[in-house]
Amino acid sequence: MTIFWGGMISILIPVYNYDVTLLVNTLSHAIDSSELFCEIIIGSDGCSKDYVSIYIALTKLEKVDLYRSEVNIGRAAIRNRLIEKASGEWLLFIDADALIEGNASDYLGKWHDYISSPTVICGGTAYPPLAPEDPDKYLRWHYGFLHEQKSTKERNKEPYASFSGFNFLIEKNLFSRIKFNEELRNYGHEDTLLGYQLKKAGVNILHIDNALIHDGVESNREFLEKTQEGIQNLSILYDKVTDRKTFASTVKILKIYRRLRFIGADRIITRIFIKKRRRMEIILRRKKCSLKIFLFYKLGLFSYIRLESR
């Protein structure tokens, strides 16, 4: 086998109770004819027997392997275990609910053009242009379509704030020194912390036009619950980081919160949030709600958590 100058790439897919058959089959067929990609590793994080049986069946495909944790160790920890298992010099992380639009070989081929060290390369996230037919999944799609789907130019203006663990390539030696923070067991902001760590370490992040479609759109209720977990995580991280100013520069909610806190308006936001919380949650579960309400909800929840912790 010919080894490319940039080294081989391992594709890592962490998963929790999600059917990755289509994604893995598509990638497997594409890397069969590639000398750049050495393996696909599925990381099963405490999944049920039914899903584990699906992942085991996929290992019959060429270059597909499975790392299995019997218990759920969390989004950060399962990614770190995959790093340890990977044999490639570069790691391509792809979330389980991603879909490849168009030709998989074209998608994989683009990564080789940008391999350099020590640089982190983000491919981007895309959403279907049409809203889901199910109104109960509108909020997640609406937020993602307007706030997570950004052009390469937009993302490169704020490369660290735009970092996402959904679809990115990183050198293994670099990632082995940083890794995901395993104290974060619940959903949310593990990639925010990684973006902050990369910024503090002076590692460049390059955003390219190689997006995957985010297919796993949760219900409005589920997305609100994950948002609550994410805000809790964000508050924990805000207490732990050594440079709050730099960390806040990578998170829009924190930028706004710090301005409000400076002028003492965070208590006003908290009081409004406490009074209107249940009403906002009802509105956010409806179809075609305003994302301004969602932004205020997140800001109010963070302010409330910070005030309670003080």
- Assigned domain for 131 exists: yes
Measured CA to CA, the distance from residue 200 to residue 98 in angstroms comes to 29
Diameter over CA atoms, the chain: 65
- Assigned domain for 1 exists: no
Which of 217, 238, 260 terminates a domain? The answer is 217
Whether residue 206 sits in one domain with residue 120: yes
Whether residue 97 sits in one domain with residue 242: no
User: In the chain, how many H helices and how many E strands?
Assistant: 13, 10
Structure tokens at 150: 């950004």
Whether residue 281 sits in one domain with residue 211: no
Domain containing residue 118: CATH number = 3.90.550.10
**Beta pairing partners, 99:** 213
- Assigned domain for 159 exists: yes
- Assigned domain for 228 exists: yes
Which residues constitute the domain of residue 27? 9-217
What pLDDT, on the 0 to 100 scale, is given for residue 3? 37
What pLDDT, on the 0 to 100 scale, is given for residue 4? 41
User: Do residues 219 and 141 touch, judged by C-beta distance below 8 A?
Assistant: no
The reply to whether the predicted model has a pTM over 0.75 is yes
Measured CA to CA, the distance from residue 27 to residue 58 in angstroms comes to 11
- Assigned domain for 4 exists: no
Whether residue 77 sits in one domain with residue 198: yes
* Structural domain count of the chain: 2
Whether residue 141 sits in one domain with residue 47: yes
- Assigned domain for 61 exists: yes
Measured CA to CA, the distance from residue 164 to residue 160 in angstroms comes to 9
What pLDDT, on the 0 to 100 scale, is given for residue 6? 52
Whether residue 198 sits in one domain with residue 139: yes
Whether residue 69 sits in one domain with residue 123: yes
Which of 182, 217, 252 terminates a domain? The answer is 217
Whether residue 201 sits in one domain with residue 132: yes
For the CA atoms of 85, 87, 91, 95, the dihedral, rounded to the nearest 10 degrees, stands at -40
Whether residue 271 sits in one domain with residue 210: no
DSSP 48-67: -HHHHHHHHHHTTSTTEEEE
Whether residue 231 sits in one domain with residue 112: no
Whether residue 231 sits in one domain with residue 175: no
What pLDDT, on the 0 to 100 scale, is given for residue 191? 85
Q: Write out pLDDT tens, residues 284-307.
A: 987 777 899 999 999 999 999 999
Separation of first and last alpha carbons in the chain: 59
Whether residue 213 sits in one domain with residue 257: no
Residues of the chain with pLDDT under 70: 1-6, 117-118, 184-187
